[in-house]
């Protein structure tokens, strides 16, 4: 990295979607989406800064900014213009370079083996519109009889919640069933029943628009009970997704001296629950 070269920097947006679905009522869906943006610097940059103690100021813009709420820039490292900009959908930040150089030097001493250093830059919340902001819509319904329980989970992939519709990976549906389950009378598609923890688990490798029925499906199970009726429990769902965000945010450089070697986007389910 010579003094004239542009320095490679990588950025990563990671978002977490928390959702609570109540029955099949779309108006009762509560959603909270949080996110963070991290910049990654190659380890060699500390040598470059040592030889160039007055480097170009790293300046970048976050686009689709109007979708964000409660934005918390790293107070030690980031500055931004508080004046209202002509374009509210784009916000420019610049890095406090002396503080960044001190921080990276410290990290380099603590982690001499590291090939790159991750630095938290922004934390934020995403403006959510209820059900339409959830990448996977859910409805759980129970029919509880004294000797049996029927459980039905309906799910629907919602590509509209993402900027670029990407598959949801490693999707897991986990739900406890009490009432002294003695036997699984029927289960579709196949699932794993854990007798010790009294929980049933469905695993689907991925759900997307390319899935059967465009990512719309149902999970069904009937349980035989010895101590019924069951008391309905919340369904917990987990998934991850690579290559897109729910906020639609992006980052672009707003000054010379640097280039983005990579911009990663991903999101995952946090507390993602559905109740009867």
Give residue limits of the domains in the chain.
7-129+246-274, 136-236
* pLDDT value at residue 84: 64
As given in the structure block, the two tokens for residue 208 are 């997307």
pLDDT-derived band at 85, boundaries 50, 70, 90: low
The third-level CATH classification (topology) of the domain covering 136-236 is: Immunoglobulin-like (2.60.40)
CA–CA dist 202, 227 (Å, integer): 24
Provide the 3-class DSSP secondary structure of residue 123: strand
Q: Are the beta carbons of 162 and 135 closer than 8 angstroms?
A: yes
* pLDDT value at residue 242: 98
Residue whose token pair is 């990276």: 104
CA–CA dist 253, 87 (Å, integer): 16
Q: What is the pTM of this model?
A: 0.95
Taking only the tens place, the pLDDT of each residue in 250-263 is 999 999 999 999 99
As given in the structure block, the two tokens for residue 36 are 């963070």
Helix (H) or strand (E) holding 242: strand 235-242
Domains 7-129+246-274 and 136-236 share a fold: yes
The rounded Cα 192 to chain-centroid distance in angstroms is 26
Mean pLDDT across 149-171: 97
Query: Has residue 5 got a pLDDT over 80?
Result: no
11-20, 82-91, 102-111, 150-159: least confidently modelled range:
82-91
Mean pLDDT across 56-68: 95
Mean pLDDT across 164-188: 97
pLDDT-derived band at 81, boundaries 50, 70, 90: confident
* pLDDT value at residue 87: 80
Q: Percentage of the chain surpassing pLDDT 90?
A: 92
* pLDDT value at residue 275: 96
Q: Prior bond to 237 cis, omega within 30?
A: no
* pLDDT value at residue 1: 45
Helix (H) or strand (E) holding 97: helix 97-110
Query: Has residue 4 got a pLDDT over 70?
Result: no
CATH code that applies to domain 7-129+246-274: 2.60.40
Q: CA-CA distances (angstroms) from residue 111 to 10, 44, 107, 115, 215?
A: 19, 13, 6, 9, 44
Query: Has residue 97 got a pLDDT over 90?
Result: yes
Query: Has residue 184 got a pLDDT over 60?
Result: yes
Mean pLDDT of the chain: 95
């Amino acid at each position: 990295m010579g003094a004239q070269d542009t320095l490679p920097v990588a950025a990563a947006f990671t978002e977490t979607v928390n959702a609570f679905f109540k029955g099949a009522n779309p108006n009762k869906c509560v959603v909270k989406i949080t996110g963070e943006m991290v910049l990654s610097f190659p380890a060699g940059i500390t040598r470059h800064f040592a030889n160039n103690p007055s480097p170009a100021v790293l300046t970048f813009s976050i686009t689709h900014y109007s979708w964000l709420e409660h934005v918390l820039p790293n107070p030690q490292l980031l500055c931004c213009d508080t004046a209202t900009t002509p374009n509210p959908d784009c916000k420019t930040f610049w890095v406090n370079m002396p503080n960044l150089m001190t921080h990276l030097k410290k990290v380099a001493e603590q982690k001499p083996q590291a090939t790159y250093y991750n630095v938290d830059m922004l934390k934020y919340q995403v403006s959510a519109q209820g059900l339409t902001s959830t990448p996977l819509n859910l409805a759980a319904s129970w029919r509880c009889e004294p000797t049996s329980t029927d459980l039905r989970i309906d799910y629907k992939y919602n590509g509209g919640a993402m900027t670029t519709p990407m598959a949801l990976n490693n999707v897991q549906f986990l739900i406890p069933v009490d009432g002294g389950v003695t036997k699984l009378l029927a289960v579709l598609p196949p699932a794993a029943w854990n007798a010790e923890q009294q929980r049933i688990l469905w695993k689907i490798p991925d759900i997307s628009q390319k899935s059967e029925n465009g990512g719309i499906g149902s999970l069904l199970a009937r349980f035989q009970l010895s101590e019924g009726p069951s008391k309905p429990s919340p369904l917990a769902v987990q998934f991850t997704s690579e290559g897109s965000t729910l906020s639609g945010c992006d980052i672009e450089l707003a000054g010379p001296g640097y280039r983005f070697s990579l911009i990663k986007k991903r999101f995952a389910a946090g507390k993602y629950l559905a109740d009867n």
